[in-house]
Structure 1
């Protein structure tokens, strides 16, 4: 493989994305693959200003403000596409923790179809593989509650909001043909599924 393979892992809070990313990275590196792990929020130079708007939106919901947040996130992803992704070495597998599919879970007012078009219009890099990581809402809610940092969400504070977030994301996965990974069993099972999907994409690249 001479070109970069870009894989995005997205999903609601508490579904085990970070743990799965670590396991997938380890499995691929054990097979002598060059793997680079990125995190959208850590790569976004404008994150602080955007999250300030998200906090305002939580207190005072409005379509105009949510649209502004979507625009800012798309601009950030365009920046990451140009200044981070474009500089990764050919032949590597880039795994990113969250990308624009996550907006399908966390945005409440603007339809995801509009958000997707916004990202396309901004020339945001399209992943070669989208993987949606989900669990039953009760499972991910309980997992998050057991963590020291809890759910760690600016947007989601109640179980019913988390249920709505999960349902919206699963609809987007189905509508857009992303790979669905139900991470309710063993981490080994989920890792095998994601690694198999990555090798499937590599085989047709």
Structure 2
């Protein structure tokens, strides 16, 4: 395998995605794989401007403003596709923390089908594997409440919104055929499921 394998890990807040990313990375590296960990947020050159729109949207929800957020995020992903992904080592596995599947959870007024078309129209790279990490909203909400920073979201503000976020993401995952990893039990069990799927692709 010369071209890096590109894998996105997405899902609602509080599903244990970051912890799972860490354990999957360790498991793959233990077998000698070259793994590159990227985060969409940290590689987005337009992050500040986009978050200003996100904060405005939280105060004044409307479809036009949400579409502007979708456009800005898609433009950022196109930039990452052109400027960041080609620089990763040949033969590596790129694990990215969030990509366009996350919009299925956090956008409320723009259908995900429209968001997907927008990203594809801008030549945003399609991951070789989409992994959706999910739990019941009750579990993710409780996990978020137990950590010092809480849910850490400007988009999801209460448990009812967390329920809607989870349901929307799971619908999109089913429609798009993403690999769904239920992270409600042992993180080791979940990471083994993901690592086995990735190794099967190699």
TM-score range, shorter chain: over 0.9
Q: Which residue of 1 aligns with 2:7?
A: 7
1:162 counterpart SS class: helix
Q: Note the C-alpha offset of 1:33.
A: 0.3
> Which residues of 2 match residues 6-85 of structure 1 at below 5 A?
6-85=6-85
Q: 1:34-183 maps to which residues of 2 (within 5 A)?
A: 34-183=34-183
Cα displacement string for residues 154-184 of structure 1 (whole angstroms, at most 9, x for unaligned residues): 1001100000000000000000000000000
* SS across alignment from 1:72: helix
Partner of 1:196: 196
**Which string of whole-angstrom CA distances, capped at 9 and with x for unpartnered residues, describes residues 67-114 of structure 1?**
111000000000001110111111000000000000000000000000
Task: Name the CA distance, whole Å, in 1 between partners of 2:103 and 2:68.
Answer: 13
| Inter-partner Cα distance in structure 1 for 2:183 and 2:200 | 20
Q: Which runs of 4+ in 1 moved over 6 A?
A: none
Deviations 1:40-77 (A, max 9, x none): 00010100110000110111111111111100000000
In the superposition, the TM-score normalised over structure 2's length comes to 0.99
Distance across 2 between alignment mates of 1:171 and 1:199: 27
- For 1:125 and 1:153, locate their aligned partners in 2 and report how far apart those are by CA, in whole Å: 26
Q: Give the unaligned 5+ runs of structure 2.
A: none
TM-superposed deviation, 1:2: 1.6
CA distance in 2, matches of 1:59, 1:81: 31
